[in-house]
Amino acid sequence: MMKILLLAPQPFFEIRGTPINVRLVATALSEIGYSVDLLVYPHGNNVHIANTCILRIPKVPGLAKAPIGPSKTKLIYDVVMFFHASLLLIRKKYCVIHAVEESALMAWILSKLFRIPYIFDMDSHMSEQLKTSKFIKTTFLLNLAKHIENAAFKSASAIITVCPHLTAVAKTVTEPRKVFQIEDIPMEFPSPPNDMTVTSLRNELGITSNDMVILYTGNLEAYQGIDLILESAMQVATENSNSKFVIVGGEDEQIGKYIAKRDQLGLEEKVLFTGTKPLEHMPVFHDLADILLSPRIQGENTPLKLYTYLKTGKPIVATDLPTHTQLLNKNIAVLAKAEKVEYASAILLLLSNKELRTEIGRKGREFVEDQFNYQKFKHKLGQVYKTIAT
């Protein structure tokens, strides 16, 4: 059985985009017939993946879990990961390195040292992320980061992207024949506990049967647009007294910040923060919802949760930015400007029109089931590995 070294520089497993995708990749590779060593950060939950050995780099004393996005903590853990990967390559024989995000920069060096091909699994445009996050501010260092990223593009045997924008970025730097677009797919959830139903969840959250639920799930980083939800909720609450916003996810510090803003806006009874919930609870939250929100105000890649949202058959209100419009259109979602009045108006439109909610939700489900399913994902990934083998 051929062996793959899969580098994923994140806490693993966590319920967010890249770790979810990494688990999917490892699962598909094992089913195709590969044995996978998955090297990840020290933090995260243990999960079982067939034919996959999850290896964690050691914890660095005094260093907390790496946050989402560029950080000094992440940089330190990446250095540790590089040396740990080097030791693995000395001890074991791998047929390819599959490098996610910035680990492609490690793979670029390791491939030269150990004469092994690598695949650049590109979930975001790293040099652009460094710029927009302001983690690097000097022009010289930003240009250097872009130069290194471009070198990693050119040396990779194949590049996997998750959306049209990233595909276009990669094709401007390297040979188009090496670029493969493999979109995310809806997430599969474990079955909910027997005693967890929509009725019990309504009772737990204090939501009546007359209330209409507008749901957001995901992390609470600034780019996700939680401020936009809160500001829009003021207008929605004024015009629809039965509306309830439920926000699932986030770290305690982030939740505390947004609760303070919510209370300042007088929305204590209208906006509920639940914190992070187990995977098996998510189907019940989706069943509870009348409308699903994706209010991103920044970013280029398509949010993974959109595929899951579409699969639920519930209507989506998303901002009309490329991060959404490269997947969504007006037939399967309501798109609005990233501005509180227009975003609130889009929510109110759906709240007032049950037929529209049903139609958009149905079309969205049909679209995602036809175009983005596990068998297609696995087939596309297998095609990438066939090009490496030939």
**Does one domain contain both 71 and 204?**
no
* Residue-level pLDDT at 205: 97
Average pLDDT over residues 137-152: 80
Does a structural domain hold residue 311? yes
To the nearest 10 degrees (0 to 180), the angle between helices 103-114 and 139-155 is 50
pTM for this model (two decimals)? 0.86
* Residue-level pLDDT at 133: 64
Average pLDDT over residues 354-380: 97
Question: Hey, which bits of 185-342 come out as E strands?
Answer: 212-217, 243-248, 271-275, 291-294, 316-319, 334-336
**Does one domain contain both 273 and 140?**
no
* Residue-level pLDDT at 132: 67
Domain that holds residue 113: 3-185+373-389
Residues 6+ apart with CB under 8 A from 193: 280
More confident residue, 176 or 389: 176
Instruction: Using pLDDT thresholds of 50, 70 and 90, give the confidence band for residue 37.
Output: very high
Average pLDDT over residues 89-110: 96
Q: Is the pLDDT of residue 145 over 80?
A: no
Query: The domain that contains 170 carries what CATH number?
Result: 3.40.50.2000
Does a structural domain hold residue 143? yes
**Does one domain contain both 156 and 205?**
no
Instruction: Using pLDDT thresholds of 50, 70 and 90, give the confidence band for residue 148.
Output: confident
**Does one domain contain both 150 and 263?**
no
* Residue-level pLDDT at 390: 62
Q: Give long-range contacts, CB 8 A cutoff, 24+ apart: 134-143.
A: 135/69, 135/70, 135/71, 136/70
Q: How do residues 371-387 score in pLDDT, each as one tens digit?
A: 999 999 999 999 999 98
* Residue-level pLDDT at 127: 65
What is the distance between the alpha carbons of residues 125 and 71, in angstroms, rounded to a whole number? 16
More confident residue, 360 or 301: 360
Cα end-to-end span (Å), the chain: 17
Question: Hey, which bits of the chain come out as E strands?
Answer: 3-7, 35-40, 52-56, 96-100, 118-122, 158-161, 179-181, 212-217, 243-248, 271-275, 291-294, 316-319, 334-336
What is the distance between the alpha carbons of residues 229 and 259, in angstroms, rounded to a whole number? 12
* Residue-level pLDDT at 334: 98
Nearest to 183 by CA among 243, 123, 259, 265: 123
**Does one domain contain both 247 and 180?**
no
Does a structural domain hold residue 192? no
What is the distance between the alpha carbons of residues 22 and 268, in angstroms, rounded to a whole number? 37
**Bridge partner list, 56:** 40
Count of structural domains, the chain: 2
